[in-house]
Structure 1
Amino acid sequence: MTLTSAQSRTTWHRRLWISVAAALFTILLCVSTIPAQAAGLLKPLGGGDAASLSISSHRVDVVINNGYARTEVDQTFANSADRDLEALYTFPLPKQASLSELSLWVNGQEWLGEVVEKERAKKIYQEQQAQGNDTALAEKDDFKSFDVRIGRVPAGGEARVRLVYYQPLEIDLNVGRYLYPLAEGNVDEERIAFWSEDDRVDGPFSFHLTLKSAFPVKDVRLAGYQNEALIQQTSGMGADGSAGDIYEVTLNKEAGGDLSRDLAFYYRLDDSAPARVELIPYRDDPQQDGTFMLVVTPAADLQRISEGSDWIFVLDVSGSMGGHKIATLADGVARVLGKMSPNDRFRIVTFNDRALELTPGYVQATPDQVQQWIAAVKSLQANGGTNLFAGLERAYHGLDDDRTSGVILVTDGVANIGHTEHREFLKLLKTYDLRLFTFVIGNGANQPLLDRLARDSGGFAMNLSDSDDITGRLIQAKAKVLHQALHDVDLKFKGEKVRDLTQATIGNLYLGQQLVMFGRYSGSGEVGIELQAKISGQERTWSTTALLPEIDRDNPEIERLWALSKIEGAMEQIRETGETEPLRRQIVELGTEYSLVTDYTSMLVVQDVVLENEGIAKRNADRVQRERAAQQQRENAPVKNYQVDRSSGSGGMFKGLPSPGIGSGPVGPLFIGVLAWLNRRKRNLK
């Protein structure tokens, strides 16, 4: 299936298949039972006894509002040893998260961290720690984790640390998802060997989440805790007179809280929530540039696809997939094979240190063949490293030009053997016109690579947590692959006010997916917005206008999210073509200006006199002051609706609901599945 000049990627939708729904169901169902080891653990450095340190309290406060989430983690660490200890606390890197605050409490006073170039920050931290001074340091370990060092946990005493991160959230098929990651992905052997296993909090554990929505919320769910979480709902009017909902979700454990499991929160908007364009601005001074987050929830006539197909399974059988993971994955693939039509064909490729073709090429899905290969799949054993490139390369060889084909990659790991450079994977993808759907199990996987591969091939990537409501995730994945998509999507602003957009190439948008984009603007006033896409090769255009305000101080956090998106774009270039001084300098400048922990910058906590002596400006202190003031204002204010296309006529720019033809109303085919997903014992306090 090598591309020729006569071929066109605009016909990609014909290569999706109806049987993918059964595959997604069984694979997702099986990975839901995978157990996780603990992350978010504390370890003493410098030879201290691991038993001497413990997490005596762990409090999480989350606010979801205006398309992004703010997560605050406040922890107290206790030291039972008779000497001071240096400690390292690590937790999985949340997707698209900007670690923006690190605070250390000393004698009841909060010391707020400032962002410094990574090597310099580490040097200052080590000097302060060696002198026995209170200090802390937050670093980013590539795509794996945030690591927080506490320079001194006093003998027989405690150290209190607080951190804050922001992340944009997307709504998929009217369902929003927030994940607080805690489960260890077991993909980093060095980390696994390093950590002692302690997945408990000695004292209280609390999780509190506030959801504010400008559109009515039909239901919420804290997966796995529906009988323990306390849910309070408040409905009212928004600031502009529109309906708005507020939910408070609380989970408390007095002692012995478990840090080995992710917390997955879902919220489902009412079916009446329209397709829409939302623009959330921030501008402190009319003499300075403004920043905005644009969220597009499209609606289009995306028809159901009913073709048969060739299936290529690419299965990770490396060592990190051992035990229950490989058993449940094998069972899932076996169930898929059992549901295939005799007209379908399949191949199975496995990979660890090298790739193997488990089947002898394509196998017709007859009952006898299916039973034979079910037995083969169930006998798979996990061991070795992760040669992801070899697995994909083997899958792409031997494609049949006359058959609709697709690849599903299921992995929990990282590419650590063979070709590991992003550019090698991207060269491989460009040779074939084939959709790749990646399913990433757990935390710690090479998310930047797997997301890029799916996006560049025109597929999609989906993250799966051990705490996810697998039925709900199934509904979202199934709807996407069973329908056409918007492809060759392009979004343009009419006028010269807008610049520095953070997503140059959008690619495809599947049914129910949102487009989230950040940008900067100068001047003020009206600006045009135009979305172009193709459906079945036919071009479609939607347009509206938005007002860019001269001043709007409600959401200062938008600046950090814009900067983080710019940094992710620069890191994508580095991973593909290698590090250059201009790219490294760009990341350092953005990280220090907007106080973000990156691969090249860290957050350092020291006393003010050290900052002064080192010539480190208190930029983050000023930024945090603005953000906290805005957060306090929003806490007491009505919900604000940022939809900008309501003036485009009835139904807005898209004039319809986000997912026409499949909805979740009484006649929608997803209605039964959604009801099953949301069927739970509610404890709503009015």
Structure 2
Amino acid sequence: MRKRGTAMTEQIGLRTNSGASLALRGVDATARIAGLLATTTLVQQYENATDTNLEVAYSFPLPVDAVLLVFTVCIGERRYCGEVVPRRQAEQKYEQAVESGNSAFRLQEVSKGLYSATLGNVLAGERVRIELEYAEPLSWDGKNIRYRLPTTLAPRYGKPRKFAPWQEPRTSLEAQYALKVSVELRGELAKASVTSPSHDIQLAAEVGCLKVLAAEGASLDRDFILDVRGDELQSLGAAASALDTHVAMVTFMPPAVASDTGRDTVIVLDCSGSMMGDSIRLAKEGVQFAIGHLTPADRFGLIGFGSTYTELSPALQSADSRSVQRARRFVSDLGEMGGTELANALLAALAYAQDRPFDILLLTDGEAWNLEDVTEKANAVSARIFTIGIGSAVAEDTVRMLADQTGGACELVSPNEDMSARIERHFNRMHQPRIQDVTVAWPATPLWESRPTRASFAGDAFTVFAAFPSEVAGTVTANLSFTEGEHVTSTAIRLDSVQNMDTEIVRVAAAARMAVLNETEQQEWAVRYQLVTDETDYIVTLARTADERPQDLPELHVVPQMHPAGWGGFGTVRSSAAVHGLTCESTAFTVAECDTAMYSPSTALGPDLDIPAVIRCRPRPVRTAATHRQAIPTTLGEFLARVKRRAQRRILAGLPTTRAELVKLDCPVELLAVLDEALQTGQDEIAAVVTLYSALAHHACASILGEQFVAATNKLLAATEVAPHLQLRFAEQLDALWSEDHAQHSQRSQYDIPAFLRRDAD
């Protein structure tokens, strides 16, 4: 019998030597969003299907800004609530309980955004349910609110520091865990428009509430993302009283001011193996947008990296047309470059810093450890790092840390989202002065205030907390000054109560104050408000009866992560609701109509989307400079998705009007053949391409392309005459492709997978 604490190569998430099944059965998530605060309850279901007692270890992600509120363990009808205690005390309680034959359950923060649950002495055949609840302030840009539920941890390059062996995330190609998600939008948000770029969703409208459900078949292979758009939202204020504490929470939206010019920017592109597939396509698109944002007064550099890095030039280049075109070719030619030596690439970028304002724009999935030293060197040369985390399971802790510790900002984007808006927001931040001073006129004198620790920019909401001797109400006025001291704006916000969220607001406010406390004060503060930190843990102990106590110490089993969808080019997540522009108004649906509100691309594009991401489809051929794009067969759906994204662009906007550009969008060869026939008969090229768009706009596939495509097509049609006979030829080919595309996907078998995985799939 292996003793507890020894490293085992077998993983309960795969199969133990005895053939037992997964220890983690699945995860249920329930969230409630009111104003700019979300509370989420995660229920993790475990089962020990072996014939011996186990110590189960599972590391999992949470949002970086999450504040844990509840940790509960349920075994049968018994329910045990956790307590936050100093870490050393939690460790002692845990070890004593397990060694004495009792059970213990511990939840600790390994690093920002990464948590570890250890379940000591789970008896043979026993089922355990872990419930944890957390709250988080949501990001807001004046109209859009984004809710993100992280689900899995992708493999990372390098070795993590200060991790116990059982805390290091491990990934399995065969692990499969079900995910159920339910989100309630309350108050004004119940009237908002809701989209999900990650999952198919169902909507049900109730009085004062909009319920959003992830469609059946979801799993822990990608983050669940919900975008909420509410034009009526303004700056928000809330008052709450709980735990003998009275606080106010106010969120301000600084207005934009005149931007500056003449900056130096180095764009750093992650070309490591983990980025291949969905992520590199989106990242290159983002770099092209960024290059288009440069002005003649700017200077720039460009670095692609993997195990090594390559530079466009050893010196900063003026953003003239010649340098821009050279940079575009440089980006297009970049291929897979191996590991993720992110630190070396950032140090190379910092070497460009001179005597002008200097920024780094980093596009990466963040899958690398040990980057702390980079931020110190960036601050030494006054360089800000603006990050865009890309992928279905972004390492938020990495990209957020690089931005926060250097005075930059962070954006996250999933494979089905448009990159142009993120690039535009980052360049606006780079050229906007930073919010430097905020003076708040409270209704009473506060006991303490908590200001944002990360940089605040015009157009980005930020939140201030304050505590008072008694309950507060009324109006809060804030004066916001920009860096130069020349721009001052005043905002008045009314404090309202938020129903049934007082405790959450108070504890989020208490967590926000931790940054200004010393080490001793932090631990006392964390215990008082029951906050999990790097020095405090949740602990639950369970006394077993004499008959229940095992004679031997438990065997250690580590639950592996599911392989993230699209990671490293394994599978793809591009065929999801976002591609088809799923946008639903809450007022349009009732509970009875909920089923009809869901559009499921997995139904339209094939049942293979319901199997594990790593084996759901063959990877697309790798393109090289010598590969003729027209020779690579593509589906109509892929072409339509690219056309739709092109129509939605804010930068480099507009539909392409040449054959060469259609080839770059992977236009199916059948449509290109019709176009070539027309060109050979003397048809004008622009008119022929516009005729294709007209055929698309009148075809059934127009429902996928969306309103922006139709508007762009109408604009082109106003200046171009189409050929009716040519439009008919395009329509005939579209009918054939449309039918063939659906037939191929519906007939594809989930067993059309590599042989080395087929055994376990069977």
Whether TM-score is above 0.5 comes out as: yes
Inter-partner Cα distance in structure 2 for 1:498 and 1:609: 48
TM-superposed CA distance for 1:387, in Å, is: 5.2
Alignment of 1:143-292 (within 5 A): 143-187=112-156, 189-190=158-159, 194-201=170-177, 205-214=179-188, 217-225=191-199, 228-234=200-206, 245-253=208-216, 257-270=218-231, 272-274=232-234, 276-283=235-242, 288-292=244-248
Q: Which residue of 2 aligns with 1:561?
A: 508
The one-character-per-residue Cα deviations of 1:559-600 (angstroms, maximum 9, x if unpaired) are 210122123455xxxxxxxxxxxx332222122111122111
- Kindly tell me the number of residue pairs found equivalent between the two proteins: 534
- Note if contact 1:86-1:150 (Cα within 8 Å) is conserved in structure 2: yes
Q: Is the 1:98–1:165 Cα contact (8 Å) retained in structure 2?
A: yes
2: CA distance, partners of 1:544 / 1:198 = 54
Paired letter, 1:165 = Y
Q: Structure 1 residue 213: deviation in Å? A: 2.7
| Residues 320 and 566 of structure 1: CA distance in aligned 2, closer, same or farther (over 3 Å) | farther
Q: Does 1:110 align with 2:45?
A: no
The 1-side partners of 2:476 and 2:142 are apart by 26
2:398 maps to 1:446: yes
Contact (CA 8 Å) 2:304, 2:310: kept in 1 or not? yes
Contact kept? 2:106, 2:117, Cα under 8 Å: yes
Summarize deviations over 1:156-203 as a string: whole Å, max 9, x none: 3422211111111132231111001013243364577744444423xx
Partner of 1:530: 478
What are the within-5 Å matches in structure 2 for residues 136-147 of structure 1? 136-147=105-116
Q: Please, what TM-score do these two structures have when normalized by structure 1?
A: 0.67
Shift of 1:338: 7.2
- Deviation of 1:548 (Å): 9.7
Q: Deviations over 1:188-221 (max 9, x none)?
A: 64577744444423xx642111011336733111
Fraction of identical pairs, as percent: 22
Q: Which moved more, 1:167-176 or 1:213-222?
A: 213-222
Please state if 1:606 is matched with 2:541: yes
Return closer, same or farther for 1:75/1:396 CA change in 2, 3 Å cut-off.
Answer: same
**Could you tell me which residue of structure 2 aligns to residue 26 of structure 1?**
none
Match for residue 589 of structure 1?
524
Distance in structure 2 (CA, Å) of the matches to 1:64 and 1:216: 10
**8 Å CA contact retained: 1:280, 1:292:** yes
Does residue 269 of structure 2 align to residue 315 of structure 1?
Answer: yes
Show the 5 A alignment for 1:158-557: 158-187=127-156, 189-190=158-159, 194-201=170-177, 205-214=179-188, 217-225=191-199, 228-234=200-206, 245-253=208-216, 257-270=218-231, 272-274=232-234, 276-283=235-242, 288-298=244-254, 300=255, 302=256, 311-317=265-271, 321=275, 325-326=279-280, 329-330=283-284, 332-333=286-287, 337=291, 345-350=299-304, 357-364=311-318, 369-370=323-324, 372-377=326-331, 378-384=333-339, 386=341, 388=343, 391-392=346-347, 394-395=349-350, 397=352, 399=354, 401=356, 406-413=359-366, 420=373, 422-429=375-382, 436-441=385-390, 442-447=394-399, 449-455=401-407, 459-466=408-415, 469-470=417-418, 474=422, 477=425, 480-481=428-429, 484=432, 487-494=435-442, 497-503=445-451, 507-511=455-459, 513-524=460-471, 529-534=477-482, 538-542=486-490, 544=492, 555-557=502-504
Unaligned runs of at least 5 residues, structure 2: 1-9, 160-166, 546-649, 655-703, 710-762
Q: Which amino acid aligns with 2:527?
A: T
Tell me the secondary structure at the aligned position of residue 450 of structure 2. coil
Looking at structure 2, the residues matched to 232 and 589 of structure 1 have their Cα atoms a distance apart, in angstroms, of: 44
Deviation of 1:112 (Å): 0.9
Distance 1:312 1:290, change over 3 A: same
Name the counterpart of 1:238.
none
More helix as a share of residues: 2
Indicate which of 75, 78, 82 corresponds to 2:44. Answer: 75
Q: 1:137 offset after TM fit, Å? A: 0.6
Please say if residues 449 and 466 of structure 2, whose CA atoms lie closer than 8 Å, have aligned partners that are also in contact: yes
Secondary structure in structure 1 of the residue aligned to 2:101: coil
Question: For the structure 1 residues 494 and 338, does the alpha-carbon distance in structure 2 shift closer, same or farther, using more than 3 Å as the test?
Answer: closer
Moved more, 336-345 or 517-526: 336-345
Measured after TM superposition, the shift of residue 231 of structure 1 is 0.2
Give the 3-state SS of the residue equivalent to 1:258 in structure 2. Answer: coil
Q: What amino acid maps onto 1:539 in structure 2?
A: H
1:130-172: CA deviation from partner (whole Å, max 9, x where unpaired): 3332321101111251111111333234222111111111322
Between the aligned partners of 2:169 and 2:185, the Cα distance in structure 1 is: 38
| In 1, Cα distance between equivalents of 2:247 and 2:317 | 54
Report 1 or 2 for greater relative contact order, CA contacts < 8 Å, sequence distance ≥ 6: 1
- What is the rounded CA distance, in whole Å, between the counterparts of 1:360 and 1:421 in structure 2? 20
> 1:312 is paired with a residue of what secondary structure?
strand
Q: Distance in 2 between matches of 1:423 and 1:371?
A: 34
My pick for the range that moved more, 314-323 or 495-504, is 314-323
Q: In the TM superposition, what whole-angstrom CA distance separates every residue of 1:348-404 from its partner, at most 9, and x where no partner exists?
A: 135567776441313355666555544544335434554537625644535464xx8
- Note closer, same or farther for the CA distance 1:568–1:179 as it changes in structure 2 (3 Å cut): farther
Residues 422 and 117 (structure 1), Cα distance of their counterparts in 2 relative to 1, 3 Å cut = farther
Greater Rg by CA: 2
Q: Output the CA distance in 2 between the equivalents of 1:48 and 1:473.
A: 50
State the distance in 2 between where 1:149 and 1:165 align: 18
* 3-state secondary structure, aligned to 2:181: strand
**2:192 match: secondary structure:** strand
CA separation of 1:524 and 1:145: change in aligned 2, threshold 3 A: closer
Cα-to-partner distance string for 1:504-541 (whole Å, 9 max, x where unaligned): 66754322x21212221114556753322249753324
**CA pair 553-157 structure 1, distance change in 2 beyond 3 A:** closer
Shift of 1:45: 13
Cα contact 1:319–1:383 (8 A) shared by 2: yes
Superposed displacement of residue 603, structure 1: 0.5
Aligned equivalents of 1:322 and 1:510: distance in 2?
34
Distance 1:231 1:74 in 2: 22
Say if 1:142 and 1:341 are closer, same or farther in 2 by CA, change over 3 A: closer
SS where residue 23 of structure 2 aligns? strand
Q: Distance in 1 between matches of 2:431 and 2:298?
A: 19
Give per-residue Cα distances to partners, 1:81-105, cap 9 Å, x unaligned: 2222221122113121112222111
Would the alpha carbon gap of residues 250 and 540 (structure 1) be closer, same or farther in structure 2, given more than 3 Å must change?
Answer: same
Q: What RMSD, in angstroms, separates the aligned Cα atoms of the two structures?
A: 4.3
Counterpart CA distance in 1 for 2:312 and 2:104 is: 54
Q: In the aligned structure 2, how far is the partner of 1:608 from the partner of 1:193? A: 30
Counterpart amino acid of residue 261 in structure 1: R
SS at match of 2:538: strand
* 1:92 equivalent among 41, 61, 74: 61
For normalisation by structure 2, the TM-score amounts to 0.61
